[in-house]
Structure 1
Amino acid sequence: MKKTYRLIKGDCLLSMKSMPDNSVDLILTDPPYNIGKFMQNRQANLNRMRQNFFVGAGWDNGEYTEWIKNMSLFFKEAHRILKKKGTLLTFMSALKVESIVDVANAAGFYYKTTGIWHKTNPMPRNMNLHFVNSNESWIYFINDGKTGIFNNDDKLELDFIQTGVTSSSEKKYGKHPTQKPVALMQHFVKLLSNEGDVVLDPFMGSGSTGVASVGMDREFIGIELSEKYFDIATERIKNTNSVQQKLDI
């Protein structure tokens, strides 16, 4: 079975405006956390320790008020293009969970839960000085409803998932500083969508959501502003088994 995907290089707030109402089943994404300046102030030497650290990239260093404005616009468009009872799951820093829940509720989303992704092999930065950061939060919403697709096969699913960090084999086309492992995205694609559903990642990055989606017989739409990461995502997704593609550049 051939899978279809569409990749768009551009600003997601502009690109989403051209998408039809009620046309997406699942939004699975990893937007900027707006913690760049916070991290710079706390750990001035971190960028030197890790060349690919996201603070050095600059795209997460904006002002809080501008970030909230943009996230509000994002959730407004997400509410329009998601189907009724469609799902939105976003990764987020624990520092900003309450802010995201507030803007999502204002846009018409029902908050389900906040969960944890636990990294089994995190970078042991400053391990002799403080606790090593091994967790990231994710937030689960339903659009215009309280329940949506949940393919748990009648098995207990905890609000906790653990995997290793992204392996080097998943970075052969290039690196992204906050790249998520495909296994993590597969977990949510399987639970929160069905075969043939449309999965959207408006902050596509290096394309892990797309690799998971097309590999599990979903239709995928990915939007990415950075030309560098767009190119990495394109290579990764087009080499995921057999796919049909449409690129909007």
Structure 2
Amino acid sequence: MNAGILQDITIGPCRLILGDCLDILPSLPGVADMLFCDVAYELTSGGNAHQSMGGIFANDRYSNNGLLMDVPAWEELGAPFFRACKPNADAYIMANDKNVFRAGLTFEGAGWRFHNLLVWDKVRATRNRWYMKNLEFTIYLWKGKSDPKGIHDCGSKQSFTLNAKKETAHPTEKPVALARHYISNSSKPDDVILDPMMGTGSAMVGAVELGRRAIGIEKNPKWFDVAVQRVTAAVVASQAGAQ
């Protein structure tokens, strides 16, 4: 077993790995047909808002330092992600407004090519003195020098509107429906979906629901265990639906 792998579990079509993706990805060259990643990025810090914030930004949960979790440098990620994907693979990299430009430049510098900038309209907004924030961004990239593949549903717009109910306690959980939207457009049945920072496994669940295989890596044992539970439930539901 790779020294960086602390736990390695196969559940149906999914392989879930506990460990740091930067340690593990070198052992997975060219494995993925598509990559989805909600990168752990630094949030906006500071400010002098006069109103108390709630949820993940409540005073007892967040110190306003910009860090809700371990945050890697963007410059560390582009090349390992690139090498873990097959030729002509698509990648969806999520970032907020303060990180999207740096992330895009970094990933293009690692060999990725830019397709489009996508938007998730969360409907709910976070308070801000310089316009309330209701959007998150997805950098849509591809690996390959020419002839990139198109998405399956060419009627899809840049924006995806979803007021999603949280399913876990993860501070930056992404909805399964969003991951499923990207996966359905850029992969086909039995393709391998890679999520190097899977959190609680939303992309893994989406892959199961769409009949894809998937590899998810997560370094936090707490969220890894939640992902195992969610993927197990998704596989059981998928098998029951197939009967």
Question: 2:111, 2:130 → 1: CA distance?
Answer: 40
Q: Which has the higher contact order (CA 8 A, sep 6+)?
A: 1
Match of 2:228? 234
Q: Is the 8 A contact 1:3 1:218 kept in 2?
A: no
Cα 1:211/1:59, change in 2 over 3 Å: farther
SS of structure 2 residue aligned to 1:134: strand
Match of 1:75? 78
Q: Is the 8 A contact 1:5 1:243 kept in 2?
A: no
Match of 1:31? 39
Question: What is the CA-CA distance between 1:135 and the residue it aligns to?
Answer: 0.6
Match of 1:247? none
SS of structure 2 residue aligned to 1:148: coil
Match of 1:113? 116
Alignment partner of 1:181 out of 151, 175, 187: 175
1:140-185, CA deviations, whole angstroms, 9 ceiling, x for partnerless residues?
1101235135111xx42211111113x14x23xxx10111111111
Give the TM-score taking structure 2 as reference length: 0.82
Question: 1:59, 1:23 → 2: CA distance?
Answer: 36
SS of structure 2 residue aligned to 1:94: coil
Question: 1:27, 1:225 → 2: CA distance?
Answer: 17
Match of 1:87? 90
Cα 1:97/1:130, change in 2 over 3 Å: closer
SS of structure 2 residue aligned to 1:117: strand
Letter in 1 for 2:216: G
1:54-74, CA deviations, whole angstroms, 9 ceiling, x for partnerless residues?
972899639xxx843xx2232
- 2:50 equivalent to 1:42: no
Alignment partner of 1:193 out of 164, 187, 191: 187
Question: 1:45, 1:236 → 2: CA distance?
Answer: 38
Question: What is the CA-CA distance between 1:227 and the residue it aligns to?
Answer: 0.9
- 2:160 equivalent to 1:161: yes
Report which of the two has the higher share of helix.
Answer: 1
Question: What is the CA-CA distance between 1:234 and the residue it aligns to?
Answer: 0.9
Match of 2:67? 61
Cα 1:238/1:97, change in 2 over 3 Å: same
Cα 1:25/1:11, change in 2 over 3 Å: same
Q: Point out the more displaced range, 130-139 or 181-190.
A: 130-139
Match of 2:215? 221
Give the TM-score taking structure 1 as reference length: 0.80
> Which runs of 5 or more residues in structure 2 are unaligned?
1-10, 239-243
Instruction: Work out the percentage of aligned pairs sharing the same amino acid.
Output: 26
Cα 1:57/1:233, change in 2 over 3 Å: farther
Q: Is the 8 A contact 1:84 1:145 kept in 2?
A: no
Question: 1:24, 1:58 → 2: CA distance?
Answer: 36
RMSD over equivalenced CA pairs, Å:
2.8
Question: What is the CA-CA distance between 1:51 and the residue it aligns to?
Answer: 4.8
Question: 1:201, 1:132 → 2: CA distance?
Answer: 29
